[in-house]
Structure 1
Amino acid sequence: MTAPLRQPSIRQTRFKIDGMNCASCAAKIETAVRRLDGVADVSVSVTGASMTVSHGDALPEDKVLQQVARLGYGIARAEAKIHGRASVAKAHDHADHDHEGHDHGGEPVGERTIGSAHLLGDAESRQAWWRSRRAALTLACAAALLAAYGIGHLFPAAERWVFLAALLVGLVPIARRALMAALAGTPFSIEILMTIAAGGAVMIGATEEAAAVVVLFLIGEMLEGVAAGRASIQGLADLVPKTALVERAGGTIEVPAEDLAVGDVIVVRPGDRIPADGKIVEGASAIDEAPVTGESTPKRKGVTDGVFAGTISTDGVLKVRVTAAASDNTIARVVRLVEEAQEAKAPTERFIDRFSRYYTPAVLVVGTLVTLLPPLVAGGDWNEWIYKGLAILLIGCPCALVISTPAALAAGLATGARHGLLMKGGAVLEGFRRITAVAFDKTGTLTAGKPVVTDIVAYGRDERTVLALAAALEQGSSHPLAVAILDKAKAAKAPVPPALAAKAIPGKGVEGSFGGVAVFLGSGQAAGERAAMTEAQRLAIDSLNGQGKTVSALVADGVVAGLIAMRDEPRPDAAAGIAALKAEGIRAVMLTGDNRRTAEAIAASLGIEARAELLPQDKLRIVGELQRGGLRVAKVGDGINDAPAFAAADIRIAMGGGTDVALETADAAILHGRVMDVARMVRLSRAVMANIGQNIAVALGLKAVFLVTTIAGITGLWPAILADTGATVLVTANAMRLLRWRG
């Protein structure tokens, strides 16, 4: 019998790319690499300066490096970090390659895990724009143009030749990129339009204008690169300090933060940024998390509390045990996830990409018709109509159009991440604006996930004494209700005396003695078996239970001494978060397996519809019912207890913090546990899509205006390229406004 053929496994490899400045660059690289044998898929992020290649077991890696370098971009394959240092395979310089668009610095650029596409970008890998080779080329071309004006003024006979020389400084690299792009599968590129227009201008004697147009084109490209850098999330990585003070041999030594290992104990002084995720083992301080979470009020943290990299200890010395390596701390994970998200294209972005494939050839056809038809049909002047046709080629450069969508999406994703709102790609970001219903888990989502003491009712003693006696019995217990009582006693500074002969009574409670007085803490029913309860006490227990609270009764010396009520309370912003969704016209519903009384009590306090006592299949059924009713449903939870409903939702949102976020199955994550952030994601999505609409209108509107004025003879080559460069600047600046979004 013939053995079945083994299906080839698909792996992913990440690369860092230097020199990209717009979506057209990404499209050229994607097309070129996709043509290589063994490559299954390619995704490129301009703002992340990265590329992910999906391939079989054998990746033609050298061909990938050469193919991208041949287009004029720097490329580096990231290797796994060894002892904190990244080893990087880089495309080397070739004598026959033009690398004007990038820099071949030797610094490591990242970390790659074959098969899972995890990559930690180095914030230093994106070079300052004024140091890039593209900036150097732009300055050289501008200087050559100024020199040509000076020489032409002094020597009028040489004017045409000096302007031609100035033109060639910038045009030769552009023409080379156009040729390489054509050979790699992109014959209709922006560079080809520029090359034809500049060459044609020289042929009709407009050499000076051609040289100026090339300078303006290069300036526009450089501005796009600056914008791509601003939309990058890499600035977040700069929040982590480069060095850390580590305890070693009774003292402290300074080491690179990237060399910290899990288990190291670091010292953080007042005013210092914390260099790693960890848990406080000594000291207490107010932690300023605003740089990372946007929270304006510092949080007081002490021993056993978690802290994460990039936050600031404001007023105390801390010793922190490291819990995550540099490549896996909270900020690194955010950077990695957003970079990957920026490679995932939204439907609008895919439409613009498809449109641009036909748009550029159409521009060439229109330019050719404008050049040929008037002279051939109506006897027009050839030079005049050739000039107008060349101007139309420049007007038609799709720079502004193709950057209109990805610039806004990248800025939106980066802004969201800086506010703790992670979304896995432009499709998810775009999808939030269409959400019309949100289904929440209760425990750990709308509530904090752990009970707290809400009420203390004392009989014959004061509340502080009741709390102290209950806490004494619960010492050493890890039961959630016991922890709630101990936390309340600590917060109230209630004295907790040691209990004698304390022991648990299975199914009933815990008992012990203090000063010869027998004390018991347990359920109301168990307490009623040990002491006579008044009608008022029974009514008090029923009332508290009716509010969804768990009640423990304290019996001292055979008499009910007090009641302690506990409940998993809603998050502080839960009610405001639900109200914000309703204000956006979005229906909110709570799905929980908890008992109906507790669920309805919580729901009433939040103003949300409740469905209680549900099994996982019930939650799936309700999500389906909402969808069949025409609603687009987002599900908020951990994706574990109710995986079927989570998977069925249109958008899946994980609620959590730091490294505990359930991101594997989620489309988006709320890092800082704020219910309000669901509404903020919707508002951010709507702001981004409105921005994209504005960008497309500006890009196409300016082109339409200058198309008419050019054919009418009002404008020429200079205004034509300014129309494209100006539109690109306007579109980019408009997209960058999203970086200041506050929601």
Structure 2
Amino acid sequence: MTITTTSGCNSNKLENETVTCCSSEVENEQFNNASLLNDKLEFRVHGMDCPSCAVTIEKGLSGLENIQEAKVNYNTAKLQVVGNNTLSLDSVENQVQKLGFKIERLNQIKNYRTYDVVGMDCGSCAKSIEKHLSKIPAVNNVDVSFSTGRMKVEHENSVDDIVSEVSKLGFKATLLTDSNKSTETMKSKKGSGYSLIALSGMLIALGFIISYSGIPPIIPIILYAMAIVISGYKPVKSAYYAIKSRSLDMNVLMSAAAIGAALIGEWFEGATVVWLFSLGTTLQNSSMEKTRNSIRDLMDLAPSKAWIKFGSELIQKPVENVLMNEVIVIKPGDRIPLDGEIVQGETSINQAPITGESIPVDKKVGDTVYAGTINESGSIEVKVTKLVADTTIAKIIHLVEEAQEQKAPTEAFIDKFASIYTPIVFILALLVIVVPPVFNFGTWGEWVYRGLALLVVACPCALVISTPVTIVSAIGNAAKHGVLVKGGSFLEKAGVISAIAFDKTGTLTEGKPNVSDIKAFTKSEKELLSIALTLEEYSTHPIAKSIVEFVKNKEIESKNATLFKNIVGKGVQATINGEIYYAGNLKLFEDMNISLDHIRDKVQMMHNQGKTVVIIGTSSEIMGVISVADTVRSTTIQAVSGLKKVGINQVVMLTGDNEGTAKMISKETRVDRYFAELLPEDKVSAIKQLQNEGHQVAMVGDGINDAPALATSDLGIAMGGAGTDTAMETADIVLMADNLEKLPYTIKLSRKSLAIIKQNIWFSLIIKFAALILIFPGWLTLWMAVLSDTGAAIIVILNSLRLLKKE
């Protein structure tokens, strides 16, 4: 077999990107100037506070000419409009605005680019970048996430312009492409940062020594000034542009403190302030990168190239260029580059990157494999079923990144608190500087110094970091363990859940029938199973299939038979050795007037246990019975036990089965209570009942059939997300593996996260208030103020990083 290697042409790629960009702009212009051409367009509606608002919008739009249809879904906040070719899009927007609402076009093409930003040490840095870029006319929209270190910008100017503007604030922005993960940027930034800190630190130490050696004071002052310039250049530059953007961030406060200290002659204090600040922010950046890398590591799981089978040759090419239905070859020990279906070979696959399962899963022809998983043993050929952007691992990365960018309720509250707290303390610092000396309560130098210390304390850096770092760490850890948490709000909800309701079929149980009992009366068990196989082999009924699979696994052969016949609603029949044999329910044999007294009680008992009974016999005798039942998952009992250990008060089973079956399954699974004979709407009522009892309720289902109950519950949890796109899209939390073993871990992780968030918040507040109290007696020095802020931030980050190692 010949092996050749090809690589994508960069010039072609660049050309393609340029064409795409231009085409996007043309499409945008066409879209903005277009009319509705008998097509359905979607909008997002902002400002609806009740379903009657949706009705108001529908009626308002229906009054416009040339509107064929207008529908508003209050739950999803979406507006769908269908009109003819004389209706302007602007008229739709104007009409909705007149009604008091705002809309945005969901199908409008936007030229967004994503950048990696290095150097942000707290949430205020992200806000400063947003405010600065928002003032540039060529920038239409900008969103900066401190948690992920990413910036999304919709802009019309060049990438270099954006990078340059961000650098003015003291940060390094790098455009993210498929081949660029910004790792080299991070390494170079780290190296230069530490070397400058070391240099300024040596200058301060040298100046301090010289100041006690009798050398003229001007020499140590020069050394201190050099240290201030080296360590303070970045924060002062960032502060300048932050002030222009009307933003009060840590750079503004620290720069004011350092410059003020120098102006009142406290050169050593000023130099120490900027040095400690630079060291603290560098350490914070380094620590934050560990949390951000928890997701970047996922990105590196799938190989960038794949071996394609092309006739008798193997051709290597980038995964971006692999097409649907192409056959890729994966050797033992290699990672699988794309999702697909095995068409040749057998192997064991380590699916831990996707599902968190530690034990490899056996795979054969027809089975699905996922990008990023590891081929443990045999060589396999896989037909590609999903392109690189649509693979399961790509969706996980996308959803986790989105989740990390969403603010949890606690984080949103802290941000709002900080936005009010910082300017108040800033004004208070100015009053401390001015008021006391004016009224002769001390010297100007004394109160200016205290005011500068208050400026440093004013930045709530540790407080603002306390929540997002914890949430990013927890979500990243969960993703590595096969649990997809869709946002910080859901992580917080999981931490307060007190009751969990499970759908029975397919969740607590396997969801497919299996043979559970065999009772032979007039024949041997082997003979009975052989007859059963013969009768059921031609049936397509799920119960018949389960019996056939069971018997074949025992390597029992069927008999020669003729005249197969399906008896609707009762069973099947076939002729074996000239005699007619039957397999079916009680009704089938009752109609043949066969005595069933000796087996009726046994059959009824099996029915009460939730089992389906198949009777095997002839028109003259009953040979035996085979019962089939949905079996409990092997992980269910362990999962239920684990949930009780982590403090879940109520573990509940919801099922449409009869009372007897529900009672038996509930005993076997050891749930606390059950609700039986439920229709889908009854499951909603059961959830509401638990909520009325004072519980925060999570619902665990498959994400599709249990949609109403999942929507009603406080937290929706879906199973088997690796094989179900719908589950990944609809649930709040997705267990990627098709079992429950990760559920207790998820609850424990959530509760640990809440505990760490509280620890961080209280620690930050106590340190801050302690520093504020020490200012007024004059006990708090400037360098102590810096330590109280940057030191507390570092401790908060390190405390949050513990979640990355949680098993």
Tell me the TM-score normalised to structure 2 length. 0.78
State the one-letter code of the partner of 1:626: L
2:534–2:559 CA contact under 8 A, matched in 1: yes
Instruction: Name the counterpart of 1:655.
Output: 719
Render the CA deviation track for 1:162-195: whole Å, top value 9, x for unaligned. Answer: 4323322332332232232233342x21111011
SS in 2 for 1:125: coil
Q: 2-side partners of 1:104 and 1:546: how far apart?
A: 66
The equivalent residue for 1:645 is 709
After superposition, the Cα gap between the structure-2 partners of 1:269 and 1:470, relative to the gap in structure 1 and judged at 3 Å, is farther
Q: 1:707-735: per-residue Cα shift (whole Å, max 9, x none)? A: 44454455522232222222111100100
Which deviates more from structure 2 when the two are superposed, residues 309-318 or residues 528-537?
528-537
Q: Distance in 1 between matches of 2:239 and 2:205?
A: 28
Q: Whole-Å Cα distance in 1 between the matches of residues 335 and 686 of structure 2? A: 46
Q: Secondary structure at the match of 2:651?
A: strand
Q: 1:308 aligns with which of 370, 377, 382?
A: 370
Give the Cα separation in 1 of the matches to 2:113 and 2:162. Answer: 18
Tell me the residue number matched to 1:174: 235
Return the offset for 1:412: 1.3
Q: Which of 730, 750, 760 is the aligned partner of 1:685?
A: 750
1:164 aligns with 2:225: yes
SS at match of 1:275: coil
> What SS class does the counterpart of residue 310 from structure 1 fall into?
coil
Q: In the TM superposition, what whole-angstrom CA distance separates every residue of 1:236-281 from its partner, at most 9, and x where no partner exists? A: 2222223333222133333333433332322222222222222333
Contact between 1:23 and 1:46, CA under 8 Å: does it hold in 2? yes
- Classify 1:226/1:482 alpha carbon distance in 2 versus 1 (closer, same or farther; 3 Å): farther
Distance 2:518 2:644 in 1: 35
Change in 2 beyond 3 A, CA 1:622/1:103: closer
**What corresponds to 2:156 in structure 1?**
62
Q: How much does 1:447 deviate?
A: 1.9
Aligned to 2:654: 591
User: Out of 652, 666, 670, which is 1:607 matched to?
Assistant: 670
> In structure 2, what residue type is equivalent to 1:594?
D
Whole-angstrom CA distance in 2 between matches of 1:697 and 1:549: 56
Paired position in structure 2 for 1:204: 264
Aligned-pair RMSD on alpha carbons? 3.4
Distance 1:680 1:740 in 2: 13
1:476 Cα deviation from its structure 2 partner: 6.2
**Structure 1 pair 398/677, CA: closer, same or farther in 2 (3 Å)?**
same
1:459 is aligned, of 495, 512, 521, to 521
Deviations 1:219-245 (A, max 9, x none): 322333333332232212222223333
Q: CA deviation at 1:415?
A: 1.5
1:401 corresponding residue in structure 2: 463
Percent identity between the two aligned chains = 36
Q: Which residue of 2 aligns with 1:79?
A: none
For residues 582-604 of structure 1, what are the alpha-carbon distances to aligned partners after superposition, in whole Å with 9 as ceiling and x for unaligned? 44143232223333333333223
Partner amino acid, structure 2, of 1:204: I
Q: Shift of residue 528 of structure 1? A: 5.3
Q: Distance in 1 between matches of 2:312 and 2:577?
A: 45
Matched, 1:47 2:147: yes
Q: What corresponds to 1:6 in structure 2?
A: 92
CA distance in 1 between partners of 2:484 and 2:405 (Å): 14
The 8 Å contact of residues 435 and 586 in structure 1, kept in 2 or not, is answered as: no
Aligned position for 1:77: none
Report if the CA contact (8 A) 1:103-1:133 is conserved. Answer: no
Q: Evaluate the alpha carbon distance shift between residue 400 and residue 476 of structure 1 in structure 2; reply closer, same or farther with a 3 A threshold.
A: farther
Partner in structure 2 of residue 73 of structure 1: none
Aligned to 2:171: 101
**Residue type of the alignment partner of 2:750:** S
1:15 aligns with 2:118: no
Q: How does 1:130-529 map to 2 (within 5 A)?
A: 130-133=186-189, 136-146=192-202, 157-186=218-247, 188-232=248-292, 233-377=295-439, 379-475=441-537, 478-495=540-557, 500-513=562-575, 518-527=580-589, 529=591
Change (3 A) 1:49 1:499: farther
Cα distance change on mapping 1:530 and 1:741 into 2, 3 Å: farther
For structure 1, the residue ranges without an aligned partner over 5 or more in a row are 54-59, 66-88, 110-121
What is the deviation of 1:635? Answer: 2.1
Unaligned runs of 5+ in 2: 1-62, 68-90, 94-102
Report if aligned partners of 1:552, 1:565 keep a CA contact under 8 Å in 2: yes
Q: Partner letter of residue 599 of structure 1?
A: A
Aligned AA for 2:117?
Answer: D
Q: Deviations over 1:555-586 (max 9, x none)?
A: 36964443222222222222333334344143
> What is the identity, as a one-letter code, of the residue corresponding to 1:523?
N
Separation in structure 2 between the aligned mates of residue 469 and residue 305 of structure 1, nearest angstrom: 31
Distance 1:143 1:547, change over 3 A: same
Alignment length (residue pairs): 697
Judge which range, 360-369 or 341-350, deviates more: 360-369
Could you give the per-residue CA deviations for residues 49-107 of structure 1, whole angstroms, max 9, x where no partner exists? 33568xxxxxx6337x8xxxxxxxxxxxxxxxxxxxxxxx67555499627411546x6
2:181 is matched with: 125
- What displacement does 1:406 show? 0.6
CA distance in 2, matches of 1:219, 1:129: 19
Task: Find the aligned partners of 2:378 and 2:521 in 1 and give their Cα distance.
Answer: 42
C-alpha distance 639-535 of structure 1, shift in aligned 2 (>3 A):
same
User: Secondary structure of the equivalent of 1:6?
Assistant: helix
Equivalent residues of 1:270, 1:314 under 8 A apart = yes
Structure 1 counterpart SS, 2:307: strand
Secondary structure of the 2:276 match is: helix
Separation in 1, partners of 2:538, 2:316:
38
Q: Shift of the alpha carbon at 1:6?
A: 0.6
User: Where does residue 618 of structure 1 map in the other structure?
Assistant: 682
Alpha carbons of structure 1 residues 701 and 132: separation in structure 2 relative to 1, 3 Å = farther
Structure 1's 193 and 490: CA in aligned 2 closer, same or farther, altered over 3 A? farther
CA contact (8 A) 2:197 2:279 kept: no
SS of alignment partner, residue 165 of structure 1: helix
Answer whether contact 2:288 2:469 (CA < 8 A) is retained: yes
Pair 1:378–1:308, CA change in 2 (3 A): same
User: Deviation at 1:352?
Assistant: 0.6
CA gap of 1:462–1:255, structure 2 versus 1, over 3 A, is farther
Q: Which amino acid aligns with 2:146?
A: V
**Does the aligned pair in 1 maintain the 2:167–2:173 contact within 8 Å?**
no
Letter of the 2:710 partner, please give it: F
Sort the Cα spacing of 1:687 and 1:322 in 2 relative to 1 into closer, same or farther, 3 A.
Answer: same
Which whole-Å CA distance do the structure 1 matches of 2:693 and 2:424 have between them? 43
Deviations 1:684-723 (A, max 9, x none): 2211110011111222223334444454455522232222
* CA-CA distance at 1:337 after TM superposition: 0.8
Per the normalisation by structure 1, the TM-score is 0.84
- SS state of the match for residue 410, structure 1? helix
